[in-house]
Structure 1
Amino acid sequence: MHTRLALILLLAAGSVHAADSQPSGKPMAWPYRLLETAQDAFEQRAPMQAPGATLAFSLPKVPPEQGDNQVELVQGDQRIALPMVSGASFALPRDLGRVDGAATVVANRHFRKGETLHPNIAVRSPGLPDNVRRMGDLRLACAAQMEMAKAEGFKFRAVLAAAGMFGLGVCKELEVTKIDVPQGAYDTVTIEDGARRLVQGTVHASVPRLGDGTWSDEARISYSLVGRSVPQAK
């Protein structure tokens, strides 16, 4: 079950790893309206679940340290550079003026041959250390990712059918260690929520899920390796 949930999320987005060694496929591009679906879901839920947080789109399977990435909004003969939040992630501002239904968001990268993946959604609350994630941010990021995937209609329903998961709340069942995790190795995950603290090694079979209501949106998740904090991609 947990493996299938992780697979669905990966199919909806794309896990990060080096892509340059793979044969090039189609240019990396998405309909503007598709990304706007995720932005709308975020803005609707953020005031309650992650007040003050920001949303960014990470280029799928592009390492964050790869810094010469560019993303543009393209409509007709007009090209507008979108702000890069980090080396491999960008924002979708609301002050772009009138955007028509045929507009696309285009990166100066290519998908690997045979692949077409959505950007990864990252939600960040202000004031957190780079190596700490907030439970409410992860829940909101997953919800926005799923709204974007569902906007694809038939393609997403086919994935659910193949996994035998119609009617299942994917984000509620997803383990916290299956979203926005460090790129490098880690052997321990720590979840802190007020006075409550859970420390688990990677050998543990059961990890709290995003839908576990006993953990509040304010719970903090961090990773470590041999007692040292493992930073997460920005």
Structure 2
Amino acid sequence: MKALLACLPVLATVAVATASAQPVVEVSTVRDPELKPYATMVKGLDAFDAQRKHAPAATLRFLLRPATKDDTLAGLELKIAGDLVTVPVPLDADGGFVLPRSAAALQDHAGLVLNKKRNSFRWRPDVRTPGIPANARRLGDLRVQCAVQWAIEQQDLPQQARAALGAGGGPCVSPVMHMAFEAPAPLRAAWLREGTRREAIPVHRHQRRVFNPPLADRSWSDDALVEFQAD
């Protein structure tokens, strides 16, 4: 199983994938059949709606991040583009955006398009419940975020890999797969806390911003908090 996961960098939530192997929003200034289809991204919106019980007050955004130090958010523009439909997608100052639903874009087989060269930016979903401290993440939010990621990324996997990763309900609920998330800063340690219960959770040895919460452990409720100790 580890060998299989290691060959799937598109699944950024799998712990064996590094932070630099985040899923890519393909970039182009023109229509390109290799762009990630809008219909594929909508599967993430559907997964968010289906898993809202774990984070009923949360919102879903997607975050764009430069792939290299030479790329910046300055001047970045995003749109949903098809042969007939163009829908501008506003970007926040931090590179975040809310993906709108568009029946016309689905019918037009549209894709996500950036005005930068291909592979210069990477994306990930971001699910947040209001009121959570800046140095913490709510476990239910992370469970939903994983579901969004998996719903999108499994579309690009070979059938055999998809079946293997989907065994036991999928990587977001499997106790034998460790899912990785990115903290806002390099970590010295990370802890999972609920009431008086507190346990350390793994932090990646080399990618110090990457942590692995126990998504499948239902002894922790959705309201448990992952707390970060900055390095």
Q: Which amino acid aligns with 1:103?
A: A
Q: Which residue in the other structure is 1:167 paired with?
A: 167
- 2 CA distance for matches of 1:203 and 1:124? 22
Q: CA, structure 1 residues 35+160, in 2 after alignment: closer, same or farther (shift >3 Å)?
A: closer
Check if 1:104 corresponds to 2:103.
no
Cα distance in 1 between the residues matched to 2:126 and 2:7: 18
Bigger Cα displacement from structure 2, 127-136 vs 31-40: 127-136
Aligned to 2:208: none
Q: How does 1:91-170 map to 2 (within 5 A)?
A: 91-94=98-101, 96=102, 98-99=104-105, 100-112=107-119, 119-152=123-156, 155-160=157-162, 165=165, 167-168=167-168, 169-170=170-171
1:38 match: 44
| TM norm structure 1 | 0.71
Q: Which residue identity is paired with 1:58?
A: L
How many positions carry a matched residue from both structures?
208
**C-alpha contact 1:58 1:89 (8 A) present in aligned 2:** yes
Give 5+ residue unaligned stretches, structure 2.
Answer: 29-33, 206-211
Would the aligned equivalents of 1:71 and 1:81 in 2 still touch at CA under 8 Å? yes
Deviation at 1:2, TM superposition (A): 6.7
Distance between the aligned counterparts of 1:156 and 1:118, measured in 2?
Answer: 21
Asked whether the equivalents of residues 62 and 97 of structure 2 are also in contact (C-alpha less than 8 Å), the reply is yes
Which runs of 4 or more aligned residues in structure 1 lie more than 6 Å from their structure 2 counterparts after TM superposition?
A: none
Residue 230 of structure 1 aligns with which residue? none
Deviation at 1:74, TM superposition (A): 1.2
Paired residues of 2:4 and 2:161 also in contact (CA < 8 A): no
2:59, 2:19 → 1: CA distance? 20
Letter in 2 for 1:92: L
Listed as ranges, the gaps of 5+ residues in structure 1 are 20-24, 227-234
Query: Aligned partners of 1:41 and 1:190: how far apart in 2?
Result: 27
Cα contact 1:191–1:199 (8 A) shared by 2: yes
The 8 Å contact of residues 58 and 127 in structure 2, kept in 1 or not, is answered as yes
Q: Which moved more, 1:143-152 or 1:80-89?
A: 80-89
Letter in 2 for 1:167: A
Alignment of 1:1-234 (within 5 A): 8=8, 10-13=9-12, 17=20, 27=28, 29-46=35-52, 48-59=53-64, 62=67, 66-68=72-74, 69-94=76-101, 96=102, 98-99=104-105, 100-112=107-119, 119-152=123-156, 155-160=157-162, 165=165, 167-168=167-168, 169-172=170-173, 173=175, 174-175=177-178, 178-182=180-184, 184-199=185-200, 202=203, 208-226=213-231
Q: Kindly state the Cα deviation for residue 15 of structure 1 after the two structures are TM-superposed.
A: 5.8
Q: For residue 91 of structure 1, report the CA deviation from its aligned partner.
A: 1.2
TM-superposed CA distance for 1:199, in Å, is: 3.6
The alignment-based identity, stated in percent, is: 26
- Determine if contact 1:15/1:60 at 8 Å carries over to the other structure: no
Q: CA deviation at 1:63?
A: 7.3
